[in-house]
Structure formats: structure tokens, C-alpha cells
Amino acid sequence: MSLLRRFTPRGRRTLVAVTLAAAVVGGTGGWAAGSTQEAVTGPAPGAAAWRADHSLGQRLPDPAAATPADVARFFASLTEAQRQELTARHPLTVGNLDGAPVALRYRANALALKAERDRQTARATDPAGTLQDHREARRLADRYAELLRPGRQILAFDPRGRGQVAEVFGDLAAERTSVFVPGSDIDLSSSDRERDPYGTPSGMAKSLRARMAAQAPGVRTAAIAWTGYTTPVGLGPDAATGRLAEAGAPRLARFLDGLAAVGVRAPALLCHSYGTVVCAQAVPLVEPGRIADLIVFGSPGMRTDSVAALRTTARVWAARDASDWIGNVPHVEFLGLGHGTDPTDPEFGARRVPARTAEGHTGYLAPGTDSLRNFADIALGRYGQVR
């Protein structure tokens, strides 16, 4: 009699789940560094004041319920003075309102960042605070000051939790746009960093644009580093389940619909690591035709069995280099644990992107790699050059 047959059906399920958990832990180096995160959902702070504002003699679009297309039509109906007045009164709302004019969101988020910087600067010397409070306040004030540097274009900013941010590189009137969705351990403070820069959405975005400029100097490009969901921290249980992806997916879908509402051309959506789980949940929620290409790399699985199950009109591409530790993660899903089929498996149906010279889990966008060159060709629509 086999070992499994000695157990009741419930016992067998438990044993399989425990075995799977052990395999995941063993394959990734353990869960000791992981911690459970509370997902940030809903509109940014200030939505209640926005809803209560009747200064224009009409109801303002509900940040939680109005579609990006509705928001775009609303702002198109206003005078420039009215738009600026709303922005000054409700910077956090306007700055995160998908469908609002891009330039208006940049200005709104600059105002919101200044307000948060000033608030944290004051908190850093508040006698009622602890030494730890003061240190954390100074860290946040410095980070907000970095995001306020001249030339930075912040398309979304939410100070809740570990903080969320979306930054644009280039002009969104570009011929080719890309959106990057990161995996674990990325938040407002680490969306760009000097250490391991190509493991951050900002580093990836800048690297792709530089490569696209080298391959097609006459093509205008833009890239968005979207850190708009609560990512897992470490290799804890959050990284092995879909809970945070399910919370983040509607935010990503709304963001993408918002780009379309203001005339941004259908982008290439590049998703890394746990971000591929988020993208798999978001893509079916997006209107057809609003994503040109979906590129997943370093994926633990997408909680779906095939490209067809994604229900997208986008071309789907998948890459994984031979040295990426994610390849040691079991590509199974059982009782909510694990993320299922490997997108680079031929049976999944994605177009395989060579990544022979990429190294590790965060090396796909490193300069000089074939994966970076191939991603650039895909983002440029030069599909015949992918090799």
C-alpha cells in the first residue's frame, strides 16, 4: 500500500499541501525573511473630500466607481482654470485619477509629494515622537524630496502602507510605450535604487528605453515604472499565494484603461516575477486591444494554464534564463499555494524569448543581454528580430 493510500482524502490533500510548501521553501531558500502584507486598495486618501466638493455645481466623478473614460470626459468638459482649481484642492485624488490629463496628474502629484514631504519633515522633530519615529520621518521626507527633483514625472503617488508610485520616462505621446510591473520587495522607496538597479521597475524602464533608442534612433518612446500594488516582502507565504495579486490586478487594469482614455497608444506590458501573477489577473479585465504585447520574465507561474486562459488580444511572450532561481520553484498550484504552469513551457502557448546571456533573477534588462535586445525588438514591434 502506498503512503498516500494510508490517509483519508482530507489527509492526502493536507500531505500534498505540506509537501508542496516544503518544496517551495526548499527551492527558494526559506520563508524566514517573509512577512504578511496588508494590501492597499481603493482610492487614495482625500476621496471623501473630493466626493463632497460641489464647487462646480455638479457631482465629481467617484474615484472608486467612475470609469477612466468617464473621468476623461469630465475633465474635457472643464475650463483650464477649473482643472487647476480642483488639482490644488484635491492633489492626491487628481494625481491618482486614471483618465485625468497626464500633465494635470504630474502637477497634482508634485503638490501631494510636497505636502507629504513637509508633513514628514515636521514629524521628524516632533517632541511627541520616538527616535524611531524621527528616523522614519526623515527617511520618508528624503524620499519624497528625491521624487520631487526637476524632470521627474510622477503619474501616481499613494503614501499609504509602504507607498506606491508610478513614474514616466519620456513623453506619453510616444509612438511606443512600455509599462513595467515589478515583483516582490518593491515599493515607493525601492522603485528605483543604486543596488541591483535592473531589479527595479525604474531601472528596467530606463534600460529598455536606452536600448530602444540604440536600435531605433528615430522612434519616440516612453516607459512607465508602475509600482501600484502591494508587493510581497521576502519569500514568505504572500509570495506563494495569489492574494496580493488579486488585490493589485484591478488597480493595474484600471491604470491601463486610464492610459487608453487619455490617448496613449497600446503599450507593451512587461511583468517580472510575482508581477506576472498580477498581470495574469489584470489582463482579462482590460478592454481588448489596449495591450499590444505581454512579456513575462522570471515568472513563478501565472495561476493559469495557458495563453488562451488569459483572454487577451495581446501577443504573449515568456523568458527565463538558465541561472534564475525561480526555475527551482515547483510550477504547481494546490489549495491556493503555488502559481501553476511555467509560462516558458511550450504547452502554455507563449512565444519563447531567448535569454541566454541574462544572469540571475534580476538580470533580464541588464545592458548587453540578449533578453534586453529581444524585449526592445518586441516593444518596437520588430517581432521578426527576436532570436
3-state per-residue secondary structure call for the chain: CCCHHHCCHHHHHHHHHHHHHHHHHHHHCCCCCCECCCCCCCCCCCHHHHHCCCCCCCCCCCCCCCCHHHHHHHHHCCCHHHHHHHHHHCHHHHHCCCCCCHHHHHHHHHHHHHHHHHHHHHHCCCCCCCHHHHHHHHHHHHHHHHHCCCCCEEEEEECCCCCEEEEEEECCCCCEEEEEECCCCCCCCCCCCCCCHHHCHHHHHHHHHHHHHHHCCCCCEEEEEEECCCCCECCCHHHHCCHHHHHHHHHHHHHHHHHHHCCCCCCEEEEECCHHHHHHHHHHHCCCCCCCEEEEECCCCCCCCCCHHHCCCCEEEEECCCCCHHHHCCCCCECCECCCCCCCCHHHCCEECCCCCCCCCCCCCCCCCHHHHHHHHHHCCCHHHCC
Please write the tens of the pLDDT for every residue from 238-255.
Answer: 999 999 999 999 999 999
What mean pLDDT is predicted for residues 129-145?
A: 98
pLDDT of residue 34: 64
pLDDT of residue 286: 97
pLDDT at 26 over 70: no
pLDDT at 14 over 60: no
pLDDT at 356 over 70: yes
What mean pLDDT is predicted for residues 217-230?
A: 98
pLDDT of residue 28: 41
Please write the tens of the pLDDT for every residue from 72-127.
Answer: 999 999 999 999 999 999 999 999 999 999 999 999 999 999 999 999 999 999 99
Res. 284 pLDDT band, cuts 50 70 90: very high
Please write the tens of the pLDDT for every residue from 321-352.
Answer: 999 999 998 888 888 899 999 999 999 999 99
pLDDT at 276 over 70: yes
What mean pLDDT is predicted for residues 219-225?
A: 98
pLDDT at 5 over 70: no
What mean pLDDT is predicted for residues 176-195?
A: 96
pLDDT at 8 over 80: no
Which has more pLDDT, 20 or 331? 331
What mean pLDDT is predicted for residues 152-166?
A: 98
